[in-house]
A and B are shown apart, each in its own frame.
Chain A
Amino acid sequence: MTLSLLFQHIVNALSLGSLYALLAIGYTMVYGILRLINFAHGDIFMVGAYVAFYGITLMSLPWWAALLFSIVFTAFFGIVLERVAYKPLRDSPRISIMISAIGASFLLESLAVLIFGGRPKGMPVPDVLSKVVYFGSVSMITISLIIPLFTFALLIVLLWIVNKTKIGMAMRAVSTDIEAARLMAVDVNKVVSVTFGIGSLLAALGGIMWSFKYPQLNPLMGMMPGLKCFIAAVIGGIGNIAGAVLGGFLLGIIEIMMVALLPTLSGYRDAFAFILLIIVLLIKPTGLLGKRQAEKV
């Protein structure tokens, strides 16, 4: 493999990995606070992408305005979803709320088929984001440059929110013990809503970035990315925001390098992602950056 080829593969890997990381942050954040694996995360991602699409095509907004509109809309959408599908089950066994999440996922997918139609749509990508830039013989589009920067910026903002702000403190309190937090006058409903709002906002951002890079929308587009970022979050240690970013990049690098090194096996890319998950879980059940927590009884 020549050097420039290797660099091209690394660039490809980083740009794919940063997308996974962006999605995994939202996943892991909701889990970290609520101990809920939100299976509908991938579908909120899809909703975000569609809202931005209609913002650009139907309301003829400029792309950045459509992006803002979509993340605000989707954040509220996530809050409503939590109120309807998860809140009534907050005191039920974990398994019920997980089933409810799977149900919400199917509901959103079917609704999307009804409302948006089953045929795929092409996302109108602004020229600024789809320009090809060259570094020697290595090439990439501008959006692939923006996504990693964006992911790191979000990582820092989120770590700041969780660790330094008052609402972040409340989040951590809820995460440790909901009942005790309520006794300490923490408004649990508000904290959960904010968490879901942020999680959904991140999903929408991920969805829009994804569809700018891969300009194709369909009602099931969130399924595979949802699974992949779940894997990324688990590999990194679910609940740990920095771990999710690490897991996302790792997954992207392994997927790309697997094809680069073993081109004849390129059809088994996804299988390798899942094998990686199994190996990590066998060796380190809590994920790379996860801490072992005693299960509360």
Chain B
Amino acid sequence: MKRIVRIGLLTIGVALLIVACGPGAPKTVKFGVFEPLTGANAGGGALEVEGIKLANELYPTVKIGDKEYKIELVIADNKSDKVEAANAAQRLVDKDKVNIVLGSWGSSLSMAAGPIVKNAKVSAIGLSCTNPLVTKGNEYYFRVCFIDPFQGTVMANYAYNTLGAKKAVIIREVSNDYSVGLAKFFEDAFKQLTGDENAILAELNYNTGDTDFSAQLTEIKKHKPDVIFAPGNYTESALIIKQGKELGIKTPFLGGDTWETPEFIDVGKQAVEGVVFSTFFATETPITETSKVFLDEYRKKYNKEPAAVTALGFDGYLVARDALQRAGSLDKEKVRAAIAATKEFPGATGMITLNEDGDAVKSAVIKTIKDGKFTYMATVEPY
């Protein structure tokens, strides 16, 4: 009996092998999707994966040279953890042998993958990771979003010009490169705008995963700032704002792109009404033809409004696909050069042109939360 089963299985196996290697099978290229699907950043990762998957459904193939290739997504969970992120990236390049890596949400996680894709000479396209160090000195890492020096300046401008703030307090997630970097760029820009070396009254720290911020917030209250800048992961930020309101803090809270996840509103509820943050894209102002396609298809499929990072996921996939077409080959160096040469590519989030660092130069959007929804306020062009 056992023997029969074994022979049977063997036959099936051989048959499958023949089918898989047969001339009829389409060739595939692999896109590694490198995102946090569990842990503290899972909400953001899931949004980007939505965008990538949507793009994959709409444009499932790519023409390289004169051959049609099927694009296969290999999804790797980096677990919102820098060590796991390095492992996941290693697996993508070594075991899965992906041709291009997309992601990750969270600059720290992308930076963990940096040396790995560089050594393997596999090009990676970051979607919403905004810390300058992701692409700096790494010719294999690109991104389809703007970077934090710009974002920090946008928010400092908003604080100074729109709110008329003269003194600010910063509360940052000290173990998160994105948060620390963005806080620094905000600080520099705000000091320059106010012409006041002491415009930042205090800087307070917390760690990823903390839940109690009452001590830091009581400190902040003591300083009586005009504005509080609180870049950081969405759940921690939502809890900070909620606890701030409970302590009677009425000062406006400002933040960055990471706040645009449904979880931010879900956790913060009424407390996060009226907070203001910068992000990449607003559904209220579609920019290109691709934006229209993206919005229509997304609404049809998910029956809700897309987040900015979802649009970036969509764009990252399209930029990678476009680069493969232009490279006309799967040669790693040619693919790298083709991505670097991306110019005036019409993405859902606007025209994408990569500069010498591999960063996209794009406008920022300022949003607020009104009646439990992310609401568009203004667009800021790159300086």
Contact = CB atoms under 8 A, between A and B. Distances in A.
B75 interface: no
Nearest to A12: B214
A89 to B, nearest CB: 29
Chief secondary structure at chain A's binding surface? helix
Contacts of B238: 122, 216
A256 B42 contact: no
A53 to B, nearest CB: 11
A259 B38 CA distance: 30
Given A113-B38, A118-B42, A219-B38, A260 B247 contact: no
Contact of A120 (B42, B214, B216): B42
A118 B263 CA distance: 12
B37 A118 contact: yes
B243 to A, nearest CB: 8
Interface stretch (A134-142, A174-182, A196-204, A234-242): A134-142
Nearest to B174: A267
Contacts of A187: none
B300 interface: no
B246 A141 contact: yes
Interface stretch (B128-136, B202-210, B353-361): B202-210
A259 B203 CA distance: 12
Chief secondary structure at chain B's binding surface? helix
Contacts of B246: 132, 139-141
A227 B263 CA distance: 26
B304 interface: no
Size bracket, chain B contacts: 35 or more
Interface residues of A, number: 42
Contacts of A267: 174-175, 205-207
A17 B214 CA distance: 12
A259 B222 CA distance: 13
B270 to A, nearest CB: 10
A118 B38 CA distance: 4
Contacts of B248: 132, 134, 137, 139
B78 to A, nearest CB: 12
B192 interface: no
B108 interface: no
Interface in A1-24: 2, 5, 8-9, 12-13, 15-16
The 5 closest A-B pairs by CB, nearest first: A118-B38, A267-B205, A122-B266, A259-B215, A267-B174
Interface of A: 2, 5, 8-9, 12-13, 15-16, 113, 117-122, 132, 134, 137, 139-141, 210, 214-216, 218-220, 224, 255-260, 263-267, 269-270
18 contacts: A2-B222, A12-B218, A16-B214, A120-B235, A120-B266, A120-B267, A122-B238, A122-B267, A139-B248, A140-B246, A210-B211, A215-B269, A218-B39, A218-B40, A220-B209, A260-B218, A263-B204, A263-B219
